[in-house]
């Protein structure tokens, strides 16, 4: 995997599709529009074709319903997974709660051919609503970005930056496990610098040890 430095700049996408028009979908749509990006939203029951044709497509549906996503329309597309496994919403789903596999890898395996990047998931709706700020603002928070292609991570980083947060490159899609629930990063409202420190500390955290044991990486 090649490296995408946090300060490598590319332009933010011009169009964003959002699948899911609930709490997260609505606030992400507002932030993108505020950034001057054309937004195409599709909720369940809508024709998702226009949303899936956007430069970047954000997934903001309950994770337990990922198999209802229009996989054929997302083939070859840059897709941002903003979803989390939340048992209260999704029910008991051992397939989404296996520490050997990040949930974004599970989504990527279903969306065969899509370029999946994980982002926006570890912020609460409140944080997204209230803590988006322009570059350089002292209260600007960080958001982690994980994906297997450095170029795709740069595009999503530019989107995160335009929408009011400092992107932090977290590496591969498998590394997305470091900011899923339940981790220290999830819901932490951290700055970019604090986020980098938490990512570095992850292997020593409680969840990090669970993941390492499950993956046979424990020393």
Ligand X SMILES: NC(=O)c1ccc[n+]([C@@H]2O[C@H](COP(=O)([O-])OP(=O)(O)OC[C@H]3O[C@@H](n4cnc5c(N)ncnc54)[C@H](OP(=O)(O)O)[C@@H]3O)[C@@H](O)[C@H]2O)c1
Binding site for ligand X (CB under 6 A): 19-25, 42-44, 60-63, 65, 68-69, 82-84, 86, 121, 123-125
Residue given tokens 């054929």 in the structure block = 72
Quickly count: other Cβ atoms within 10 Å of residue 131's Cβ: 16
Q: Shortest Cβ distance from residue 146 to ligand X (Å)? A: 14
Beta-strand relationship, 56-59 and 166-171? unpaired
Q: Whole-number minimum distance, CB 120 to ligand X, in Å?
A: 6
What is the maximum alpha-carbon separation in the chain? 49
Give, in order, the Cα–Cα distances in Å from 106 to each of 57, 109, 145, 183.
17, 5, 17, 18
**Residue 89 phi, psi (nearest 5):** -90, -40
Shorter beta-carbon distance to ligand X: residue 125 or 218: 125
- Of 41 and 175, CB closest to ligand X: 41
In whole angstroms, the minimum distance from the beta carbon of 2 to ligand X comes to 28
Shortest gap between Cβ of 118 and ligand X (angstroms)? 11
Return the residue nearest ligand X (CB atom): 22
Q: Which is nearer to ligand X, 61 or 155 (CB)?
A: 61
Contact 60, 103 (CB under 8 A): no
Shorter beta-carbon distance to ligand X: residue 68 or 206 = 68
């Amino acid at each position: 995997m090649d490296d995408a430095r946090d300060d490598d700049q590319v332009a933010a996408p011009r169009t964003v599709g959002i699948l899911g028009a609930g709490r997260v979908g609505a606030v992400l749509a507002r932030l993108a529009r505020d950034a001057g990006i054309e937004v195409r939203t599709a909720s369940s029951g809508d024709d998702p074709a226009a949303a899936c044709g956007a430069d970047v497509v954000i997934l903001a549906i309950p994770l337990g319903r990922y198999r209802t996503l229009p996989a054929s329309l997302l083939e070859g597309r840059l897709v941002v997974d903003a979803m989390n496994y939340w048992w209260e919403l999704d029910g008991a789903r051992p397939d989404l709660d296996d520490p050997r596999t990040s949930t974004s890898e599970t989504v990527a395996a279903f969306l065969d051919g899509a370029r999946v990047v994980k982002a926006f998931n570890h912020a609460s709706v409140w944080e997204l609503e209230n803590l988006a700020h322009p570059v350089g603002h002292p209260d600007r928070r960080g958001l982690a970005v994980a994906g297997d292609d450095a170029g795709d991570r740069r595009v999503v980083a530019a989107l995160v930056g335009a929408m009011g947060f400092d992107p932090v490159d977290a590496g591969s899609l498998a590394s997305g496990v470091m900011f899923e629930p339940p981790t220290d990063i999830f819901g932490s409202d951290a700055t970019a610098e604090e986020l980098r420190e938490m990512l570095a500390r992850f292997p020593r955290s409680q969840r990090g040890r669970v993941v390492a044991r499950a993956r046979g990486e424990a020393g």
